[in-house]
């Protein structure tokens, strides 16, 4: 009974906060007291419901943040700025899953089965198709793409290592450029770079990672031989080519709408813009599919989607709170001083240093979001000899590579659960070489981008 009550309170409080945020956005007004009360309720209920690392990190960052807040007498204004810093990101987590509904009811996944069966006996082709599918679908469905893709192929019994590499390559390649990911949104939010300015360089980097991952698989002869031994001739499944074209068209159009929306609207955060587009586009897409009734029925059970992201919701709010407090405490000057002492090094080495430190800390359990938030709020690009775009890329890349290698991140936990394998094996063994090579390639890419500005 208590569990059901907490679930209902969590859904109601989160939806109330989301509604309040958009009311304030459209009315260009602020209801500070009401927002504070609702947000405190959301944080409290989500922490009570939280489990695992999300619970511990949320509590630690919240407690330590408040200790620093009172120690340095920062006041309510700083507290409110800190506790609301990542609220737009929480709204993003709640709203983006709406886009999964038209994909599910539109018959697009069935159409993809045709392409799997068509190239089923070609090991390199199947890797390219699956990783590209995760790359495209994941760009708007986030971790949902891993579960969706696995559900399409779980009966084939592909090697675990193969699946870990497919998911690792495809997922990491889309999270470095898509506005529907916390990695991109969080960093753009902190650095102040617009998505329109970042998109081209982020997307090009994502394509580079996808190609690199496929190239590494091509030269991994033992894995290719293991895969060939498991592949059998599969009957060709009927597919609708038009459905795949429609899906690709809608994916592309979603990003065009985000870029144009950023230029012609006045949302206070791109995260709120993307959240609004996700809900609005999902509804319009369903209308064009002539399945709005089914869309509405899916929305009635949307509370389950909200409950699935309560951990992430409270985690990012607490980490954002901690990051702002940390940036306003004396430790901010310590970080600045430390980087000034090595500022004589080449920008390439500084970029590599930021990436490697973030990945190493993430690999031992210190969440990369904390490290990146601290760097983003404490460092100035000019101090490192970097342009705003290059600095933004550095932080996004650090976030992305941490998600490839660290055994403590959600992506590897989801992959581990799907293929029934330990996250340490997935991140630190099977995807380790991909991650290490990407670290070096990323530094070169970022410096080349830096020279353009």
pLDDT digits (tens, 9 = 90+) for 172-228: 999 999 988 888 988 998 899 999 899 999 999 999 999 999 999 999 989 888 887
Same domain for 42 and 146, yes or no, is no
Same domain for 286 and 399, yes or no, is yes
Alpha carbon dihedral 139, 142, 144, 146, in 10-degree steps, equals 80
**Residue where a domain stops, chosen among 63, 86, 109:** 86
**Is 112 a residue whose pLDDT tops 80?**
no
Can you give the pLDDT at residue 114? 65
Helix residue ranges per DSSP H, 123-220 = 123-141, 144-153, 160-174, 182-191, 195-218
Can you give the pLDDT at residue 185? 86
Q: What is the pLDDT of residues 47-99, one digit of tens each?
A: 998 887 778 888 998 999 999 999 888 888 999 999 998 899 889 888 888 88
Which residues, including other chains, have CB under 8 Å from residue 315's CB and lie 6 or more apart?
A: 50, 54, 57, 58, 369
Cα distance between residue 258 and residue 321, in whole Å: 27
Q: pTM of the predicted model, to two decimals?
A: 0.82
Alpha carbon dihedral 73, 76, 81, 84, in 10-degree steps, equals 130
- When pLDDT is cut at 50, 70 and 90, the band that residue 236 belongs to is very low
**Residue where a domain stops, chosen among 62, 86, 110:** 86
Cα distance between residue 410 and residue 416, in whole Å: 10
**Is 138 a residue whose pLDDT tops 90?**
no
- When pLDDT is cut at 50, 70 and 90, the band that residue 235 belongs to is very low
User: Quick one: which H or E segment has residue 91?
Assistant: helix 87-95
Same domain for 69 and 156, yes or no, is no
Cα distance between residue 347 and residue 385, in whole Å: 6
Instruction: Retrieve residue 82's tokens.
Output: 């800190």
Q: Report the first-to-last Cα separation within the chain, whole angstroms.
A: 59
Can you give the pLDDT at residue 151? 74
Q: Please indicate, yes or no, if residue 91 is contained in any of the structural domains.
A: no
Same domain for 80 and 102, yes or no, is no
36 or 113, which is more confident? 36
Instruction: Retrieve residue 279's tokens.
Output: 């809900």
Can you give the pLDDT at residue 113? 65
């Amino acid at each position: 009974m208590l569990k059901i009550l907490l679930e209902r309170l969590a859904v109601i409080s989160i939806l109330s906060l989301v509604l309040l945020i958009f009311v304030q956005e459209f009315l260009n007004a602020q209801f500070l007291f009401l927002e504070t009360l609702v947000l405190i309720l959301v944080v409290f209920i989500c922490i009570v419901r939280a489990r695992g690392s999300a619970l511990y990190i949320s509590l630690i960052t919240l407690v330590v943040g408040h200790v620093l807040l009172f120690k340095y007498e920062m006041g309510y204004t700083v507290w409110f700025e800190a506790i609301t810093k990542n609220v737009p990101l929480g709204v993003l987590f709640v709203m983006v899953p709406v886009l999964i509904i038209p994909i599910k009811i539109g018959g697009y996944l069935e159409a993809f089965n045709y392409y799997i069966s068509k190239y089923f006996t070609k090991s390199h082709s199947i890797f390219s198709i699956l990783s590209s599918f995760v790359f495209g679908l994941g760009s708007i469905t986030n971790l949902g793409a891993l579960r969706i893709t696995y559900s399409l192929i779980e009966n084939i019994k592909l090697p675990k290592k193969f699946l870990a590499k497919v998911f690792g390559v495809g997922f990491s390649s889309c999270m470095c450029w898509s506005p529907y990911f916390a990695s991109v949104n969080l960093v753009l939010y902190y650095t102040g770079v617009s998505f329109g300015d970042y998109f081209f360089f982020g997307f090009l980097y994502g394509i580079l990672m996808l190609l690199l991952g496929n190239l590494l698989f091509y030269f991994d002869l033992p894995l290719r031989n293991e895969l060939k031994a498991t592949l059998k001739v599969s009957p060709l499944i009927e597919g609708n080519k038009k459905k795949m074209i429609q899906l690709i068209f809608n994916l592309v159009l979603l990003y065009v709408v985000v870029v144009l929306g950023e230029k012609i609207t006045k949302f206070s955060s791109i995260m709120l813009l993307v959240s609004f587009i996700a809900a609005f586009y999902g509804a319009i897409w369903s209308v064009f599919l002539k399945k709005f009734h089914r869309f509405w029925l899916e929305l009635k059970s949307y509370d389950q989607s909200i409950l699935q992201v309560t951990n992430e919701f409270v985690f990012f709010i607490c980490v954002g709170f901690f990051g702002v407090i940390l940036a306003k405490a004396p430790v901010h000057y310590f970080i600045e001083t430390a980087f000034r002492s090595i500022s004589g090094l080449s920008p390439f080495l500084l970029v590599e240093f930021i990436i490697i430190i973030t990945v190493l800390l993430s690999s031992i359990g210190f969440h990369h979001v904390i490290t990146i938030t601290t760097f983003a709020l404490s460092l100035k690009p000019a101090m490192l000899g970097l342009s705003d775009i290059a600095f933004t890329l550095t932080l996004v890349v650090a976030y992305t590579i941490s998600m490839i290698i660290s055994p403590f991140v959600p992506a590897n936990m989801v992959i581990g659960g799907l293929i029934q394998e330990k996250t340490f094996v997935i991140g630190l063994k099977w995807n380790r070489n991909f991650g290490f090579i990407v670290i070096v390639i990323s530094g070169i890419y970022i410096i080349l981008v830096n020279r353009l500005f």
